[in-house]
Amino acid sequence: MKKTVDVAIPLGPVHPIFKEPCRIKCETFGEQILAAEVELGYMKKGIERIMVGRPWQEVMFLAERICGICSVIHNFVFIETMEKISGVSVPDRAAYLRVLANELDRMQSHLIANFSYCYTIEHETLGMYLLNIRETVMDMLEYLTGARVTCAYIVPGGVRFDPDEEDLSRIMKAMDKVEEEMLRYIRMFEHGPLIGLRSKGIGIMTAEQAELVHAVGPTLRASGIPSDCRSEHPTYQMLGFTPIVRTECDNFARIMIRFDEILQSIDIIRTIIKTLPEGKIRGGGTIGRGQTTHRGEAPRGELTYRIKSDTHGRIQEIAIQTPSIMNIEACARYMIPGGTSVADVTSAYISSDPCIACTER
Amino acid sequence: MASVEWIKTFFFAKTAPLITPSHFREFPHVTDKECTHCFQCMMICPAPGAIEVIRTEKPGEWKPVIHLGHCIRCGLCVEICPELVLDSGRVHTKNAQDGTYMQFQFHITVNPVICMGCGICSVACPVNKEIDPQLAAKGTSTSDEVIMRVYKGINTVFHEEKCTGCKTCEEQCPNRSVMVARVLEPLQITEEP
Amino acid sequence: MTLLQSFKNAVRQRSIHVCYVDTGSCNGCDIEVLACLSPRYDLEQYGIYVHNNPREADVLLVIGGVTPQWEDKLKMVWDKMPEPKVAVAIGNCPISGCVYNRPDSLTRPPAKSYIPIAAEVPGCPPRPTEIIQAILSVAPLIFKDWEIRR
C-alpha cells in the first residue's frame, strides 16, 4: 500500500534544541511520524587527514579535540593503541589514575547528556540541578588534570601529574557530595509524574532492533543487552566492573542507565582512591613501528582506533570509529518512528546522546 | 542611608565574579629566568603558530612569546623547558614533586630513492651554518662536523644528535625526501633506595 | 530625548539575547557556553538569555573553525539577526583555526572573513567566566546610543 505522507518536517540545522548542527527530516501523517532521516555533514573537519604524518604529541591533542565532551576517553584509547603497538608498559599507579580521570570525565558527560534531556522535555529545574552538580565534577577534573575540558592528562607510559594525599581526599569529599545530591535527583526523576509522561514508553527500541542497527553504549544497554568494553579492560577487571543493564527499552531507561552509571563511577572512583598503589607514574618508552586495533568504552559507547605507525612513531594510517553514528542511525530508524508524535522527536533524539562532532570528525 | 544601601543590594547584587583557581593551567607566562633559546618549546608545541622564541631589543636576549588565539593551554612547553622560563598553573610544582620530565630525540631520515642530492637541506639548516660558516657563504662544505651534507652525490647524515628538530630541511626539500622525526619520551626519575 | 536615550541604554544593557552557532567545533566550547547557564556562573543574573534562535538574538556566539558547509550559511544566520547586532568569536577555532589549521584540513578559518566579528575570546576552550566577561564588556559598547549613531 502506498504510504500517505502529509508533511515532511525538517528540524535543524540551527534549532533551539540542537547544540550542534544536524538535520532531522520527519515524514509525518498527522501527529504520527512515519519515517525519519538524519542528515549529517555540517561538521566535517578532516581530523584523520590532519593526523597523518604527525608524532603522538601532536596527534594526542587532535584526538582530544575529536569530541570535547568525552575528551579523556579519546586521549586514553589513542595512547593505549600507541602503547599496544610498541609494547610500552604502564605502572600500576598510572593505570589507576587513568581510570580515575576517565570516570570523572564519564560522569560529567552523562550529566550533560541528562541535562540536555531534561532541558528538552522542558523540565528546566532538574536540568539546572544536574548542571550545577556537574560543576563540582568539573572542578575535580580540573584539580586532577589542570584543565576543565581538554585535559591532556594521559601520555605514553603513564600520566602527567600525580595527585598527593590532599588532592585525593578532596576528590573523595566531592564524591560524597555528588552522591548525596545525585540520589536526590534520581528520586526526582524516577517519581516525577511529568517526566514519566514524557519519557516512559516513548522512543522504544527493542533488543532485536538494537542488535540490527548495532547500537552501542547506554543506548544498547537500555535495551537489555549487557555489552560494555570496560569489562575487557585489565584495570577495570581488577576493580571488579560489571555492566549495568535495564530492560525498559525507552527514553526513561536510557536516562536512568546514565544515572546508574554515574553512581557506579562514584563507586569505582572510591575504590581507586582506597586501593591506589604507591610507585611511579611514568614508565618511559618511545613509540615504534606497528599496526593494531584497540577499543575502549566512551560515555556514548564503543570507540575503536586502528593505527599504523612508522619507525619513529609517526602516524601513517589512522581510522577512528566513534559510537555516535550507530546511535544516531538507531534513533532515526527505530526510536523516532516508533509511534511517537512530533513533539517527542527531539526528546527521543537527545535521549540517545548524539555527538555530531565525533560522528563527523 | 541604610535603605539606599538595601535598595542597591536588592537590585544590583550579583554573584561575585569567580576567580580562576591557581591550579588551572593558564596561558603560560614568561618568568624572569634567562632563556637559552634552545627552541624546545617551539618543537613540542602541538598548535600551529602558538609560541615563538624571538630576539628582544636588548642584544643577546631571547624571549618566548605566546600568541593568544593559537595557544591551547596544553602546558607541554612549560613542562619541557629546561630553564623554567615559562610558568603555568601547578605544572612546575607537580613536576618537581614527582620528578617527572620529558626528553626529546630527533631523527633525520633521508629516502635515498627520491633524494636527488641537490643539497638544499644542508644549506638551509641553521645548525649547519653555525658549525661551518663556509657552508653558509659558499654552499659547499668539506667538514665532517656538520649534521648532514651531500657526500659522493648522496645526502648523508653525519651527526644526528646535533639536530634541534626545527624541520627547516623538511620544509625546503623539493620532493620531501628528508623527514625529521620528533620523538618525545615522558620520563620520571627513578628513586634509588 | 537624551533622558529617554539613557534610559534605553540602561535597559538594553540588562537584556541581551544570545544565539550560538556551531560551525564545526569539537563541542568543547559548546559545553563551556552551556556551563555558563549553570547556577554557579548564572548567565541570567546579568540579563543574558540564551535562546539559540537567530531571529531574536542580539549577540551571536560563533564557535568553531568554519567548515565548507557553513561558508554561506554563517552569513545567512548573520543576516537573519535584527539590528543592532554583534558577533563574538568563542575559542581559538574562529580566530585562527586552532589545531585544525593544518595543510590537509577542511576548515576555512577565520570567521572574520565571513561576518564582522566584534570580540574574540581566546582559549581552547575558554573558561565560562571569560565568556561571560567578554559578552558583558562588548555588548554595552555596541548597543550604547545605537539609534543616534546609526
Q: Can you tell me the distance from the alpha carbon of A65 to that of A336, in angstroms, rounded to the nearest whole number?
A: 30
Q: Which of B21, B46, B105 sits opposite A58 (nearest CB)?
A: B46
Phi-psi region of C120 (alpha: psi -120 to 50; beta: other; left: phi over 0): beta
Q: Can you tell me the distance from the alpha carbon of A28 to that of A7, in angstroms, rounded to the nearest whole number?
A: 6
Give bridge partners of residue B184 from the DSSP assignment: B104
The set of cell numbers assigned to A104 is 570523572
Q: For residues C59 and C118, is the Cβ–Cβ distance under 8 A?
A: no
Task: Spell out a b/e string for A225-260, using b for 16 or more CB atoms within 10 Å of the CB, else e.
Answer: bebbbbeebebbeebebebbbbebbbbbbbbbbbbb
Instruction: Report the gap between the CA of C52 and the closest CA in chain B (Å).
Output: 24
In order of A152, A172, A288, C44, C92, the CA distances from A86 in angstroms are 21, 35, 5, 51, 33
Q: Does residue C38 sit at the B interface (CB-CB below 8 Å)?
A: no
Three-state DSSP at C20 gives strand
ipTM of this predicted structure: 0.84
DSSP string, C77-98: HHHHSPSS-EEEEESSHHHH-G
Three-state DSSP at A22 gives coil
Q: Does residue C96 sit at the B interface (CB-CB below 8 Å)?
A: yes
CATH number at residue B86: 3.30.70
The long-range contacts involving A226-231, CB below 8 angstroms and separated by at least 24 positions, are A228/A297, A229/A295, A229/A296, A229/A297, A229/A302, A229/A303, A230/A296, A230/A297
Q: For residues C97 and C109, is the Cβ–Cβ distance under 8 A?
A: yes
Q: Can you tell me the distance from the alpha carbon of A336 to that of A354, in angstroms, rounded to the nearest whole number?
A: 14
CB < 8 Å to C95, chain B: 69-70
Q: Can you tell me the distance from the alpha carbon of A193 to that of A265, in angstroms, rounded to the nearest whole number?
A: 28
Q: For residues A71 and A358, is the Cβ–Cβ distance under 8 A?
A: no
Q: Which of A55, A142, A284 sits opposite B182 (nearest CB)?
A: A55
Inter-chain touch B91–A146, beta carbons under 8 Å: yes
Residues B62 and B40 in one domain: yes
Inter-chain touch A146–B90, beta carbons under 8 Å: yes
Inter-chain touch C24–A43, beta carbons under 8 Å: yes
Inter-chain touch B90–A58, beta carbons under 8 Å: no
Counting the structural domains of chain A, the total is 1
How many Cβ pairs closer than 8 A exist between chain A and B?
Answer: 87
For chain B, list residues with pLDDT below 70.
Answer: 1, 13, 16-17, 191-193
Counting the structural domains of chain B, the total is 2
Quote the strand ranges of chain A, DSSP E: 7-11, 23-29, 32-39, 154-155, 158-159, 290-298, 301-309, 315-321
- Test mutation, C14, C25, C62, C99, chain B, max B CBs within 10 A: C99
CB < 8 Å to B72, chain C: 92, 98-99, 124
Residue C54 DSSP symbol: G
Question: Which one-letter amino acid corresponds to residue A252?
Answer: F
Q: Does residue B97 sit at the A interface (CB-CB below 8 Å)?
A: yes
Mean pLDDT by 10 residues, chain A (361 residues): 65 72 79 80 84 86 86 89 87 88 89 87 86 88 85 86 86 89 88 81 83 86 85 86 85 88 89 86 83 88 88 86 85 76 80 83 79
Q: For residues A361 and A67, is the Cβ–Cβ distance under 8 A?
A: no
B77 found inside a domain = yes
Inter-chain touch A67–C38, beta carbons under 8 Å: no
Q: For residues B85 and B77, is the Cβ–Cβ distance under 8 A?
A: no
Among B53, B79, B99, the domain boundary falls at: B99
Domain boundaries, chain C: 2-149
B23 found inside a domain = no
- Test mutation, C36, C38, C74, chain A, max A CBs within 10 A: C38
Q: For residues B80 and B40, is the Cβ–Cβ distance under 8 A?
A: yes
Among B67, B99, B131, the domain boundary falls at: B99
DSSP string, C111-129: GGGTS---EEE-SSSPPHH
Residues B84 and B150 in one domain: no
**C2-149 — its CATH code?**
3.40.50.12280
* Helical (H) or strand (E) element with A345: helix A345-351
Burial bucket for residue A179 (CB in 10 Å: 0-12, 13-18, 19+): middle
Q: For residues A101 and A168, is the Cβ–Cβ distance under 8 A?
A: no
List CB contacts of A293: < 8 A, sequence separation 6 or more: A81, A304, A305, A306
User: Given this model, what pLDDT does residue A1 score?
Assistant: 45
Against chain A, the chains showing at least 3 CB pairs within 8 Å are B, C
Q: How would you classify the pairing of strands C59-63 and C86-90? A: parallel
User: Given this model, what pLDDT does residue A233 score?
Assistant: 86
- What does the pLDDT average to over C97-126? 85
pLDDT reading at C130 higher than 80: yes
Note down the domain range covering A82: 45-360
Q: For residues C51 and C80, is the Cβ–Cβ distance under 8 A?
A: no
Note down the domain range covering B125: 105-181
CA angle A305–A311–A316, rounded 5-degree value: 40
A15 found inside a domain = no
Question: Which one-letter amino acid corresponds to residue A226?
Answer: P
Among B56, B74, B99, the domain boundary falls at: B99
- What does the pLDDT average to over C102-128? 85
List CB contacts of A310: < 8 A, sequence separation 6 or more: A289, A316
DSSP string, B33-93: SPP----HHHHH--STT-EEEEE-SSTT-EEEEE-TTT-----HHHHH-TT--EE-TTHHH
Give C40-74 pLDDT, tens digit per residue: 888 888 888 887 788 888 888 888 888 888 888 88
Inter-chain touch B100–A286, beta carbons under 8 Å: no
The long-range contacts involving A336-341, CB below 8 angstroms and separated by at least 24 positions, are A336/A24, A336/A26, A336/A33, A336/A36, A336/A203, A337/A33, A337/A34, A337/A35, A337/A36, A338/A203, A338/A204, A338/A205, A339/A32, A339/A204, A340/A33, A340/A202, A340/A203, A341/A31, A341/A32, A341/A33
B186 found inside a domain = no
Radius of gyration, alpha carbons of chain A: 21
* Helical (H) or strand (E) element with A55: none
Q: Can you tell me the distance from the alpha carbon of A159 to that of A138, in angstroms, rounded to the nearest whole number?
A: 19
Three-state DSSP at A11 gives strand
A31 found inside a domain = no
CATH number at residue A148: 1.10.645.10
Q: Does residue A160 sit at the B interface (CB-CB below 8 Å)?
A: yes
Q: Can you tell me the distance from the alpha carbon of A280 to that of A90, in angstroms, rounded to the nearest whole number?
A: 9
